[in-house]
Amino acid sequence: MADYTYTLLIPLIPLFVFLLLGLTGHKMKPLVAGLIGSTGLGISAILSYATAFKYFIGSHVAGAGYASIKGFEVSWLHLTDKLTIHLGVLIDPISVMMLVVITTVSLMVHIYSIGYMKGDPGFYRFFSFLSLFSFSMLGLVLATNIFQMYIFWELVGVSSFLLIGYYYEKPSAVAASKKAFIVTRFADLGFLIGILMLSFNTGTFDFQTLTDPHGPAIASAGGAAFMGLSVLTWSLIFIFIGGAGKSAMFPFHIWLPDAMEGPTPVSALIHAATMVVAGVYLVARLFPVYALGAPDALMVVAWVGGFSSIFAAVIACTQTDIKRVLAFSTMSQIGYMMLSLGVSGYGGEEGLGFMASNFHLFTHAMFKALLFLGAGAVIHAVHTNEIGGMGNLRKHLPITHITFLIACVTIAGIPPFSAFFSKDEILVAAFHSNKLLFAIEYIVAGLTAFYMFRLYYGIFWGKNTQYHHTPHESPLVMTIPLMILAFGSVFAGFIPFHALVTSDGLPFESKIDWLIAIPSVLIGVLGIVVATVMYKKENPLPDKVAGTFKHLYKWAYHKFYWDEIYLFVTRKIIYRYISEPIAWFDRHVIDATMNGIAGITQYSAYAIKGLQSGKLQQYGFVFVSGTIILVLIFVYLV
């Protein structure tokens, strides 16, 4: 077996860069900090590519499956006789794939940020946080056990918090970072409870043991424990809550649109390509347990994914902030991935959905990072996020225009661009499992094409907006990453995922099912045509359509009022009806009781202190009168 100990360096280099920049960055020139960050990530990326090559091609025996290999492991904390937390690296198809995704996108974002963040006073801080995030995310995907994953899960959460709140003087950014952290933290509580249940019942945290089809986890599947579901099913549902929180699935999605307050490169890296797919990765990581041990939990995954994808797609059609459109698009696409995992089976062609989900994760990372970085270039040029303040930019930003168009065509699922292949596999998997979910995904495909081209025309065509300064194309340091990612978006579809990343490690045959593919392409084209008619030239049609579907439009525009629901729960219920009464109770009941006891003591002291006056006359009087009373009692009563 090949030696993979060196893969430890892939996360450790960014950690080192984080510490270096965090401690000494304020003394560096901004460009130096940027270069150090990019170089560090560049080395990690090269190591990741080398690992991918070695794992998938170099040391692979033809015909054999891809094994899961522990490259390195140390014991970190001993908990009980059975349970010990280890830290290590696990090399298997999905972790290697994620290494490539993360380091590629992260490197592009690093390079792009050198241009985008130029002149920002916190330049070094930005790069140190990016490195912290890269370290955490790489640690997460390389985790050998679920507790290590939870550790890094929290660390990516805090990196995301720090980067969303990067512009910390802006109250909206601070609020958004807080919201993101607390909502995901709430979901993480579910994850933690799930881990506790799973580890208690199986006696292990280790992924290899857990996902072993003959291991203790899957063997413990039988029996109903609570409300007709087994303990294993419950624990996996709880774990999925954690995944749904991180991946912004309904109803934990509310943090994602607000997270767009962060700098745009951050949105590209964290809130589009890598961290938000951690939930998908989590389910994929435990996939054999879900598929073989708890099909009910997998159904939950499928329906949450399916519902989230259409819910987000509808909202995306109405938003006017370009980053928010992309945020809802991300949520919708992750819903696709979740659904795909949810409808998948285990092993061979049954595992088509598993493969398709990872495939789509890969292609999505490319085109969505491209979209965000393109949006960043646009925002950089016109200094607004609102679609209303843009228009007719294709002449001013030619490279951004072309790459953005490529990404839009890709996400619309037009062949031969990459998402066509990955999306088609998802549709096939859904078709063979659940017709209703399949139908939903068809509608989402059309909506996706529509809202993306609405965005595209709104930015690059449409009305002739008058700009204060003529917008100009971004510097090469920003456009080169765009071109590289555009290349990835176009050609990533030709990677033979069915031979590389499968549920059981064994390759299977897969071909395009044209009966499903052709209608899906047609729906995509229809979406594009409708968008072209409505938005290519400025015309009253959009307002008319919005007027026709007034209520739906209004609800979708307000994101179906989920923010308001959450605000009601937190502000009104938790703050006003739980916290404040508790604080009041503490001061006015418990503490008052303590003060009351003290008060009574003091009062009694005052009441009886007259007896100890030290005055002889008083003592004498009391003495004599007492004697007289006693004598009287004795004389008359006894």
Write the binding mask 574 to 603 for other proteins: x where contact by CB under 8 A, - elsewhere: xx--xxx-xx--x---xx-xxx--x-----
Check binding of 28 to other proteins (CB under 8 A): no
Q: At what angle do helices 9-24 and 30-53 cross, to 10 degrees?
A: 170
Check binding of 633 to other proteins (CB under 8 A): no
Minimum CB–partner distance for residue 330 and other proteins (Å): 24
Minimum CB–partner distance for residue 455 and other proteins (Å): 31
C-beta of 183 vs 298, nearer to other proteins? 183
Among 8, 19, 28, 158, binds other proteins (CB under 8 A): 158
Minimum CB–partner distance for residue 581 and other proteins (Å): 9
Q: Which stretch binds other proteins (CB under 8 A): 167-175, 398-406, 495-503, 510-518?
A: 167-175
Tokens at 352, concatenated: 């088509």
Minimum CB–partner distance for residue 584 and other proteins (Å): 9
Q: How many whole angstroms separate alpha carbon 418 and alpha carbon 412?
A: 10
C-beta of 77 vs 631, nearer to other proteins? 77
Among 152, 354, 420, 451, binds other proteins (CB under 8 A): 152
The amino acid present at 563, given as its one-letter code, is D
* 569: helix, strand or coil: helix
C-beta of 192 vs 516, nearer to other proteins? 192
Q: At what angle do helices 278-285 and 146-164 cross, to 10 degrees?
A: 180
Sign of CA dihedral 303, 308, 311, 316: negative
Minimum CB–partner distance for residue 181 and other proteins (Å): 6
Check binding of 567 to other proteins (CB under 8 A): no
Q: Which stretch binds other proteins (CB under 8 A): 177-185, 262-270, 443-451, 496-504?
A: 177-185
DSSP letter, residue 77: E
Minimum CB–partner distance for residue 262 and other proteins (Å): 14
Check binding of 548 to other proteins (CB under 8 A): no
Identify whether the C-beta of residue 340 lies closer than 8 Å to the C-beta of residue 277. Answer: no
C-beta of 182 vs 439, nearer to other proteins? 182
Check binding of 573 to other proteins (CB under 8 A): no
Q: Count how many Cα atoms sit within 13 Å of the Cα of residue 333 in the half-sphere of its side chain.
A: 36
Residue 281: CB atoms within 10 A of its CB come to 28
Minimum CB–partner distance for residue 12 and other proteins (Å): 13
Check binding of 206 to other proteins (CB under 8 A): no
| Partners of 86 in the β-ladder | 75
Q: How many whole angstroms separate alpha carbon 636 and alpha carbon 630?
A: 10
Q: Which stretch binds other proteins (CB under 8 A): 386-394, 516-524, 532-540, 571-579?
A: 571-579
Q: At what angle do helices 418-433 and 352-382 cross, to 10 degrees?
A: 140
Write the binding mask 80 to 99 for other proteins: x where contact by CB under 8 A, - elsewhere: x--x-x--------------
Q: How many whole angstroms separate alpha carbon 579 and alpha carbon 585?
A: 10
Residue 489: CB atoms within 10 A of its CB come to 28
Minimum CB–partner distance for residue 145 and other proteins (Å): 13
How many of the chain's residues bind other proteins (CB under 8 A)?
50
Minimum CB–partner distance for residue 201 and other proteins (Å): 10
C-beta of 125 vs 423, nearer to other proteins? 125
Q: How many whole angstroms separate alpha carbon 535 and alpha carbon 461?
A: 8
Check binding of 522 to other proteins (CB under 8 A): no
Q: What element of type H or E holds 89?
A: strand 84-91
Identify whether the C-beta of residue 137 lies closer than 8 Å to the C-beta of residue 102. Answer: yes
Check binding of 545 to other proteins (CB under 8 A): no
**Shortest CA distance to 266 belongs to which of 386, 399, 176, 400?**
176
Among 200, 494, 561, 619, binds other proteins (CB under 8 A): 200
Residue 19: CB atoms within 10 A of its CB come to 14
Site for other proteins in 274-293 (CB under 8 A): none
Identify whether the C-beta of residue 118 lies closer than 8 Å to the C-beta of residue 522. Answer: no
Among 31, 46, 64, 196, binds other proteins (CB under 8 A): 196
Q: How many whole angstroms separate alpha carbon 417 and alpha carbon 409?
A: 7
Check binding of 192 to other proteins (CB under 8 A): yes
Identify whether the C-beta of residue 51 lies closer than 8 Å to the C-beta of residue 89. Answer: no
Minimum CB–partner distance for residue 292 and other proteins (Å): 24
Check binding of 75 to other proteins (CB under 8 A): yes
Check binding of 185 to other proteins (CB under 8 A): yes
Residue 224: CB atoms within 10 A of its CB come to 10
The amino acid present at 161, given as its one-letter code, is F
Q: Which stretch binds other proteins (CB under 8 A): 181-189, 239-247, 253-261, 312-320?
A: 181-189
Check binding of 623 to other proteins (CB under 8 A): no
C-beta of 9 vs 155, nearer to other proteins? 155
Check binding of 604 to other proteins (CB under 8 A): no
The torsion of the CA quartet 390, 392, 397, 403, rounded to 10 degrees, works out to 90
If you search the block for the tokens 């989920």, which residue do you land on?
562
Q: Which stretch binds other proteins (CB under 8 A): 190-198, 244-252, 606-614, 621-629?
A: 190-198
Distances (CA, A) of 52 to 90, 97, 111, 244: 13, 7, 22, 28
Query: DSSP of 574-633, one letter per residue?
Result: IIIIIIHHHHHHIIIIIHHHHHHHHHHHHHHHHHHHGGG---HHHHHHHHHHHHHHHHHH
C-beta of 158 vs 229, nearer to other proteins? 158
C-beta of 281 vs 362, nearer to other proteins? 281
Write the binding mask 328 to 357 for other proteins: x where contact by CB under 8 A, - elsewhere: ------------------------------
Q: How many whole angstroms separate alpha carbon 303 and alpha carbon 361?
A: 18
C-beta of 157 vs 288, nearer to other proteins? 157
Q: Which residues bind other proteins (CB under 8 A)?
A: 75-80, 83, 85, 147, 150-152, 154-155, 158, 161, 165, 168-171, 174-175, 178, 181-182, 185-186, 188-189, 192-193, 196-197, 199-200, 574-575, 578-580, 582-583, 586, 590-591, 593-595, 598
